[in-house]
Structure formats: structure tokens, C-alpha cells
Structure 1
């Protein structure tokens, strides 16, 4: 198979990816090749990954339950710690039932491939995550993509009770919010089901960190399917799908990546449970994060690049050219800042960017350093 041709083409276009050599990540810092960097590339929005409560919970669960779940959930993998986590998620988010997955990617695949048949339509925001887009392509349903957050375009293509509308809470590359009041209105009018992927909103937005729906005043029952992840604001890993008991029972039987995967390790589930409890009372962390976002946006407003209109922890600085984006990221790295350089096909051609992510673990001094070095590194890069 001509693997080398594809890789050579990507390399020639400056788009070949490779694993960064990371020694360890510890909150606001990461280490690579023995050197410490300020970390502005992760998704640990509340800084919970280093919380002692999570470490202690994982350690206790390892001693009580062992290091692994040892089986899929429908065999003997689903244990008391998993039930406790599911109950906590339902109480937090106002859901009737949930089930746990090893990742958001597998959760999205399970839902879309299990629920939709060839008689259904699937409407997706054009900027939805790759896990959602790929699941739509693999599903027998017909997938129709609508322009980002364009409710007029979506309404023009909707058919009554024909399938599923899917969008994100916070879009991972742009940092903006989905139009959930508009989406819930159109779903209600047309009788179609509605699904939210709130990977980047959960824990950060809304009362007690309940996510995008709560922040925008949309009741949980207006959205049939809620997917959230544990690897962003909750600082651990894994995911869940929530909704009605009937939905969860159906996925217990037809969600292939759930049925045929070893369940979450008990120490991981225990750490997530501790993170949920912390996130519910983390208003101070959320307010600190919001202050850092405002500080950053004010400080880079005069840079010769497009700062996308995001009020979330995801702050995309669009450079445009792929080579310029890589060069700017390299200059920042030389100065001790680790920032993600995002290029096609992850984002549209011509919109390569620095995806700068902030965390409640950062300090105001960290943000001042970021702004100063960004301004200095931007000199000589064409806008």
C-alpha cells in the first residue's frame, strides 16, 4: 500500500504530524527534553488534573478494586465505583441515566452508529469534531452538514421527524458556543432528536459547571442525548453519554464500542468522581479562568492576526499560512512557551492557527509573559 506517497505529500505541504517528545505535564507546566515550558496547549481548563483529591481517590480505588476493570461492562467490568460515578453525573446534570465510555471518540461513534439507519437523516454543524463527522460517514444514515451555527441554513434542510441533529457545546478549534436556543427550537418544531457534544463546555460553563446548556438557559430535557468527556475540565479521561433510561438501555445492547470494550479502570472512575465533586463547587476556579481570558484578549488585541471571538478557555489566534504558524510556534517554544500549532485538515485551509488554551492553574503573571512573548515573536511574521 502506498503509505509513503501520502506521507511524502503531507510532508511537502508542511502538514505531516509527529508525536511531540513530552516528558511529563504538570498543570501549568510541561517538561520536554529536560526543559520546563509554560503549557498553553492542554485542555485542563480547571487545573484539576493535579488536584490531590483526584490522586487520593485513584489510589484508594486501586487498593480496593485493583488497577483494571478486567472485563467489558456487561460481563463483570461494571462495579460499584462505576455506579457511583453514573449516579453523580445524573444528579449533577439532571439526566435520567448515563453510561461510561473510554473516550469521547468511542462514545460519539457508539451513539450515531447505533441509533441511525438508512431511513434516517443526520444533520451536523460543519465544524463538528472529527469523531462526529466520521461516525456520520460510517453510519447508514444520510449525513447533511450545515454552515457553522447557521440556523436559517439548518431550518431550510430539516425534514420532520427524520433523524438526529448534532452540534457541539463549545467548538474545540474556534472556542465559540453552539446556538443551543436555536437548535432546541428547531428540534422541537421538527420533531427531530437533538444531541450535544459538550466536551469543552462541561465543568467550565453554567451553574456548578453544568455546561453549555445551563449557561444558555436550555433545559436538559430539550436535548435527547448529552455527551461529555472527563479529559478536559475534569482533568482525567473517558466520557459518558446521558439521556433517558430507554436510550441508555438501548446503547447497553447496541453501542458496539461500549459492549465490546474493557470498562474504565476503577482508579480512573474514582478520580473522575472526585473531579465531579470538585467541579461542582469550583466557582472560584471558573471566575479566575474567566479573568485570565479577559486579560489575554485585552493584551493581544493589537497583534496583526485574527483573534477569533471566543469567551472560553480556547483562544484561537489565526495566522493563516501553515509555515508561518509553525515558525511562530517554534519562536514561542524557544522562549519557553508551549502552544499548539493547528493546521489543515484539522482546520480549513488558509486558517492555520495557534490554539492557545488557558487554565485556572495559570497565574496572571503567566498571561503577562504569554502576551509579551507573543508580541515579540510575531514581529516578522506576515499577517
Structure 2
């Protein structure tokens, strides 16, 4: 075996000893597992109107976009979705990417054209962290959800134009960032605020417009928002929303926009239908709120340290990575899918199950899933 393959085998062995081996588990179309692991919060991925919307554009445009957005990949469907998303989120303009990961990288890189310092929350998603690294801009990691800590960092660097980067609802533990307080800190110091609103869109704010809208910050010219279309909207893709000048800058210079094949029109059509449903889905949001209370009550009564979720994500600490893997596997064997998060996916080095709420799961199945989680605990 070649030397570099030997090196990879040694690294794989080290990961296995630490309980950090990961596996792909392809699922069939007829999957009867109760889903408390995915991100389909509003249960729209298989909604008949969403399927119909996707099928209609599949028939009209074919399977793929056939090129990048600037070559042949932009369709009337893309433009309509961008308009709908901007109006829903209360933003002046929006730009659709093929994934949320690429949108986050583009947002950070694009903003560092005019910023020379990044202040990044310690618990930010990997895509934001990678955007900071790729930008080459000096990055200081701020304590998690600590506006005073952010203020101290900014005050220690006078004369520098800064970009503060955070999520609204954090993807591992599901806690909510103090966005209004953060904006008071950034606006007072001439800094920009970038918010990844992926886990809040469709759940929080008026008509589900997101965490930024819920905090009263929608449409401000010093707040830029990214979201994914793969969570509450049940599809795929990413979006950057903000001032039209910034959107223009991204179209002209954003490498993950310019050089990437566009999101397929069939996905765009399905997501457009999902947006219409999500905006009127107060009943589904109420169901998620009720289930959040139910899951906290059930797990707390069983002795687990859980915090009421801000949206639809909740974590349950595990004794270690091996215990988390075994817990998740036992749940799966009994027909319940749960997330298993271990380092390096967990910023504090603590392993846990991540549970997500899905309005499409029937009440009886949800109650059964909670019983299974408790009974399978290590």
C-alpha cells in the first residue's frame, strides 16, 4: 500500500479508538422510521403541493439547470423564488445558491471585501468557520452568545471595520442568539452583522419569516442574512438576503456563485410552493411549539438535562462519543431516527443526541419515539 494510504489508515484507526468513525446509511424510499433527526421541521418535503410544484418545473425545464447562474442556469423560477424569499424575510434583495454551505462561504468572503476583522461566535456552523478561513481575514472567536464579549473585542480594535458572524438558532443545541443585543453592539461601532438564519426560517418571526425578523432587524442595511432551503422548506439550496448593492457584488465576484452549477429548476419550483405553505403555516408552528414542551417534559421527568428549544432543535447530553453512537443505534433499531453529534461537530467537545421536531410526524409516533429515546438511554 502507498505511504499516503497507510497514513490515512492510521488516521482512521485513531478516529475509531476515539469513537469518531462515521457511517453512511442509505435509506429506502419506503422508510417507516420516525424521523427526529432530519431538518424537515414543517413536514413539507413530501407535501403534495411541493411535489406538484417540483414536478411541474421538472417537466418544463428537465432535470438540471444545465449551467451556472451566469451561463444558462438562471431561470424565471430562480428569479421568482428570490423575489418571494426577499419579500417574506423583509429583505431588499436575495440571491439563491445551490447550497447553504456555499451561500455562507460567499457571504463571509463577500463581506470581507469591505471588512478587515471578523468576530465569529464560538459555536458557529462549519460553513461559517470555513468562510472565515477561506477569506484570509483576521478572525477572533468570541464567547458563545456573549454581546459584551463581542463589544470588548470590537473596542480592542478601534479603527477597523468589523464583521460579526453568528447563527440565529444554533444548529447543535438549538439555543437562540441575542440578535437585538448583538445589533446594538455592532451598530454602535460601525460593524456589520451576518446572521445564519437557517434553523429559524419557517419557525420564528411573523409568518415564519425567521429569527432576524423576530428580533426586529429585517431589512436593515447593516444586517445580512443567510438561510438554507433544505430545512423548514424541505428542499435544497441556500440564500443570501441583504442590500441590493451587496447582491450585485456577489453576482460579480462571488466564486461559489459564479463557478457553481445552479440549483435545479425542479428544486426551485418545489421550494417556491413550500414558501407559500410555510408563510401560512401558523398551525404547524403551533404544533412544533406544543411538541417542544412535550419533549422537554418527558425527558426532564426521565432525568435528562434538557433546555427548552428556541425553535425545533434540542440536544440531550451523552456520557461520551461511544455512548452517543450506541444510543442512536439502539433507537434506530427500534424505528426511531435521532441525530448523533460528536466532536468535531460539537464545539464544546461534548457528545449528545440532537433531536429535531417534525410537524409531519403523527402524534402517536412522536409519543412512541420519546418513549424509545428514554428506554434506550445508556
TM-score exceeds 0.5:
yes
Aligned to 2:39: 43
Q: Compute the TM-score of the two structures, normalised by the length of structure 2.
A: 0.94
Aligned to 1:363: 362
Can you list the C-alpha shifts for 1:109-136, whole angstroms capped at 9, x where unaligned?
Answer: 1122233159700011000000001111
Contact 2:67–2:262 (CA under 8 A) maintained in structure 1: yes
Aligned to 1:82: 78
- Spell out the pairing of 1:229-378 with structure 2 (5 A cutoff): 229-348=228-347, 350-378=349-377
Can you list the C-alpha shifts for 1:202-235, whole angstroms capped at 9, x where unaligned?
Answer: 1111111100022233343164311011000000
Aligned to 1:114: 110
Number of residue pairs the alignment of both structures matches: 370
Structure 2 CA distance, aligned partners of 1:117 and 1:80? 30
Compared CA separation, residues 69 and 124, structure 1 to 2 (3 A): same
Contact 1:47–1:361 (CA under 8 A) maintained in structure 2: yes
Contact 1:308–1:318 (CA under 8 A) maintained in structure 2: no
CA RMSD of aligned residues (A): 1.7
User: How far 1:63 moved relative to its partner?
Assistant: 1.7
Contact 1:296–1:367 (CA under 8 A) maintained in structure 2: no
Higher RCO, Cα 8 Å, sep 6+: 2
1:101 is the counterpart of 2:121: no
Can you list the C-alpha shifts for 1:296-340, whole angstroms capped at 9, x where unaligned?
Answer: 111111233321342321111111311111222222122221111
Query: Does 124-133 or 52-61 show the bigger shift?
Result: 52-61
- Spell out the pairing of 1:82-231 with structure 2 (5 A cutoff): 82-116=78-112, 120-158=116-154, 159-160=157-158, 162-221=161-220, 223-231=222-230
Contact 1:69–1:77 (CA under 8 A) maintained in structure 2: yes
User: How far 1:362 moved relative to its partner?
Assistant: 1.9
Can you list the C-alpha shifts for 1:120-167, whole angstroms capped at 9, x where unaligned?
Answer: 000110000000011111212100111100111111000455221110
Contact 1:45–1:313 (CA under 8 A) maintained in structure 2: yes
Specify the SS of the correspondent of 2:236.
Answer: coil
Compared CA separation, residues 71 and 178, structure 1 to 2 (3 A): same
Specify the SS of the correspondent of 2:292.
Answer: helix
Specify the SS of the correspondent of 1:167.
Answer: strand
Structure 2 CA distance, aligned partners of 1:369 and 1:137? 43
User: How far 1:75 moved relative to its partner?
Assistant: 1.6
1:6 is the counterpart of 2:5: no
Q: Compute the TM-score of the two structures, normalised by the length of structure 1.
A: 0.93
Query: Does 4-13 or 215-224 show the bigger shift?
Result: 215-224
